[in-house]
Amino acid sequence: MSTNIQSWPDLIPAPIVPIQAENWYALHTRPRHEKLVALRLNERGVETFLPMVTEVHRWSDRKKVLQLPLFASYLFAKFVPNRTERLRVLRVGGVLALVGNSGEGAPIPNEQINAVRAAVESPLTWSTHPFLQIGQRVRIRTGALDGLEGILVSRNGSHRLVISVDAIQRSLAVQVEGYQVEAA
């Protein structure tokens, strides 16, 4: 009677490679290509955020309601910051560059994207605002925008909260009359 004893070499565990988290990045696009780029990126499985604004354009013979990007020539994409993913995004027609240093892009904090999303989706009156680098940073403590942070400014006697996306140097302002605001 014969027995086969198989000896397995000591298995060396594979090194644990940390999984990189997805970050939001701003993409600079060709003018008036934001919607097409967002569509193409979504087809490739890349999550995008393209904040839109509704505007009424008047011509001599008609009026038309248009959905336009809030930040012209920019949109946001969420992906893992590695070479393969960057190239997958940059190879989409209409994308000019990642916004940031050395072509690698600068990650945008989730809080800034969530703040823009909350402001755009809220029923409050808002408008674009010149980008501010200095000013008092505040946080809203009540209502639908509770926890939102931005810069408080006064314009024509009304108070507005300016929400900025640093990477693309663009901002939007939300009217905050009646909200409790505190220093952040």
**Model confidence pLDDT, tens digit, residues 128-151:** 766 645 467 888 888 888 888 888
User: According to the model, what pLDDT value does residue 7 have?
Assistant: 56
**pTM to 2 decimals?**
0.70
Question: Which of 12-26, 46-60, 101-115 shows the lowest per-residue confidence on average (mean pLDDT)?
Answer: 12-26
Strand partners, 44: none
Give the end-to-end CA distance of the chain in Å, rounded to a whole number.
81
User: According to the model, what pLDDT value does residue 5 have?
Assistant: 61
User: According to the model, what pLDDT value does residue 124 have?
Assistant: 81
User: According to the model, what pLDDT value does residue 165 have?
Assistant: 85
Q: Greatest CA separation found in the chain?
A: 101
pLDDT tens column, 31-86: 999 999 999 999 999 999 999 988 888 989 999 999 999 999 999 999 998 999 99
Q: Burial of 165 by CB count in 10 Å (0-12 exposed, 13-18 middle, 19+ buried)?
A: buried
Confidence class of residue 19 from pLDDT cuts 50, 70 and 90? low
Q: Which tokens hold the place of 116?
A: 């823009």
